[in-house]
Chain A
Amino acid sequence: MNPQPNSHANNTEEPSSGLSVALAWLFVGVPLMWGVSQTFIKALTLFR
């Protein structure tokens, strides 16, 4: 869902593309998934 501004902001930045949103999520998602996978692997020792 994209924002629908009711008033103009005082800057002239380009509208954000879907690619920039995807890259932003990858930037934080990759390290998060790495950390989660490390923890998950560690947690598996409980079930061995």
Chain B
Amino acid sequence: MAENSASLLDRSRTVAGPGYNRWLVPPAALAIHLAIGQAYAFSVFKKPMGALISGNVDAPAPDDWTAGQLAVIFSIAIVLLGLSAAVFGKWLERVGPRKAMLASALCFAGGFLIASLGVHLHSIWLVYFGYGFVGGCGLGIGYISPVSTLIKWFPDRPGVATGMAIMGFGGGAMIGSPLAVALMAQFKDVAPMGVAPTFIVMGLIYLAFMMFGVFTIRVPAEGWKPEGYVVPTTSSALITTANVDADNAIKTPQFWLLWVVLCMNVTAGIGVLESASPLIQESFSDAAMGAGRGVTAAAAAGFVGLLSLFNLLGRFFWSSASDKLGRKPTYMIYFGLGIALYALVPTLAASASLTLFVVVCCVIMSMYGGGFATIPAYLRDMFGTMQVGAIHGRLLTAWSTAGILGPLLVNYLRDNQKAKGLTGAAAYESVFYTMAGVLVVGFIANILVTAVSERYHVKKANAVPAGV
């Protein structure tokens, strides 16, 4: 029985048979990304978890967990996302996507169950270990597990394929947030704030949902290619037909330039995400817009929701567009247009141009999402398909870095301006100008990306076939 179970997960058992439709692979990938994308909705638990003892979110008890303690949970998860993706990337390439997806599902769901126990026992360390450490490993393994498989199934449209999957990560928060709110309301009489049973139910729901991906995913047979697709026989300047393994990839300047590209794009995007709600309320207040015409807290929450939608749409739109535009030009747009738009935000805020302000922020967020979704295809172009999942995993440490440094930088700049007595849009000027500067660094790094030297290429005889 155990032998049968093990073999069902083996890479050899996931090779697609004749007639397998490759359009089954994106839903399998989405099942994983829609689940793990819940991580971005973790903030929905912050207030209830900060009032488990008092039972009143507006009046926490002295022994209740503080906002600072609760913020660490997400930070651990996002750091573990990058680290586990980096560490387990080569294992994923070896064992195949099914086993990796199963590991991700068990870690992610298990993290919820452990965190539930932590909430029940009121042990913050157990929550850190459960949702942060174990769940974070599930995030990292799950994030990269379908990416290289998708790229191999869609050699003709890698941007479209990875855009679809990574769009799911953006959509995961949109499902996770209202689901958590509904479940906590349902269980509020069963346990303090309904948090612990909500964690259990969400863990089980996500486990079942991810299992669909585990058993639907297939890798293409050796030598498979889409109908009518002609495999390029010569490398163009920035699209290689060779392969670079993960250990050699990190020795190339191109890897580190792309690391900077991703890190800068994410850092700048976080600048908008962290500032969006307070900036729109403070800049477009009743004082600026006229009595009763200012942006309320509820409208600001709507603005954040709108940004999430554009973050999601941008993942698919820009990544798909990169198949036509080319990866390097697409990042030129993210950074070039981004620099102009970030620099424009304080002016729009100061001039009370609400509509333009909203439009500009939405475009910025679409490019933030696009940066995440386009990077796997960029890596495929530079390093080939052989170990693109493992290379992508190592590159995600850039996301972890930005996830920690970005909010620190933004909060420091904003607090510094406010300490000087600046209010409204003026308090955010330095944030947006600094983020425009961050994008300049990314722009330069992207300009410097050139083809990888042939000395890093895997010799043909040593190459692991892409489809296997």
Could you say which of B12, B220, B358 contacts A46, with CB atoms under 8 Å apart?
B358
Tell me which residues across on chain B come within 8 A of A29, comparing CB atoms: 27
Smallest CB–CB gap between A43 and chain B, Å?
Answer: 4
A31-B303 in contact (CB<8A): no
Our pick among B27, B174, B209, B220 for the contact of A35 (Cβ within 8 Å) is B174
Given the complex of chains A and B, what is the CA–CA distance between A45 and B306 in angstroms?
10
Q: Which of B153, B171, B301 contacts A36 (CB 8 A)?
A: B171
Which residues from B are CB-within-8-Å of A18? 21
In the complex, the answer to whether A43 meets B303 with C-beta atoms within 8 Å is yes
Given A24-B28, A46-B306, the answer on whether A39 and B16 have CB atoms closer than 8 Å is: no
B192-235 near A? 1/0 per residue, CB < 8 Å: 00000000000000000100100010001111111110000000
User: Does B34 have its Cβ within 8 Å of any Cβ on chain A?
Assistant: yes
Confirm or deny: B13 has a beta carbon within 8 angstroms of a beta carbon on chain A: yes
Write out the residue numbers on chain A whose beta carbons fall within 8 Å of the beta carbon of B227.
1-4
Which residues on B sit within 8 Å (CB–CB) of A40?
305, 309
Are B175 and A34 interface neighbours, CB within 8 A?
yes
Q: Is B17 within 8 A of A11, CB to CB? A: yes
Q: Is B174's CB under 8 angstroms from A1's CB?
A: no
Decide if A3 touches B20 in the complex (CB within 8 Å): yes
Chain B residues near A45 (CB, 8 Å)? Answer: 298-299, 301-302
What is the interface of chain A mostly: helix, strand, loop, or mixed? helix
Interface residues of B in 1-51 (CB under 8 A from A): 12-13, 15-24, 27-28, 30-31, 34
Tell me the interface secondary structure of chain B in the complex: helix
User: Which residue of chain A has its CB nearest to the CB of B223?
Assistant: A6
Interface size on B, residues (CB 8 A): 52
Interface centre among A3, A6, A10, A25 (most CB of B within 10 A): A3
Asked if B168 and A28 make an inter-chain contact with CB atoms under 8 angstroms apart, the answer reads yes
**What's the least CB distance linking B25 to chain A, in Å?**
9
As a 0/1 sequence over residues 115 to 158 of chain B, the CB contacts with chain A under 8 angstroms (1 = contact) are 00000000000000000000000000000000000000100000
Known: A3-B21, A21-B24. A42 touches B301 (CB 8 A): yes
CB distance from A26 to the nearest CB of B (A): 9
| B19 CB to nearest chain A CB (Å) | 2
Do the beta carbons of A2 and B22 come within 8 Å of each other?
yes
The 10 residue pairs across chains A and B that have the minimum distance between CB atoms: A15-B19, A35-B174, A35-B175, A45-B302, A46-B302, A6-B223, A24-B27, A43-B306, A9-B15, A42-B305
User: What residues make up the interface of B, taking CB atoms closer than 8 Å to A?
Assistant: 12-13, 15-24, 27-28, 30-31, 34, 153, 168, 171-178, 209, 212, 216, 220-228, 295, 298-303, 305-306, 308-309, 312, 358
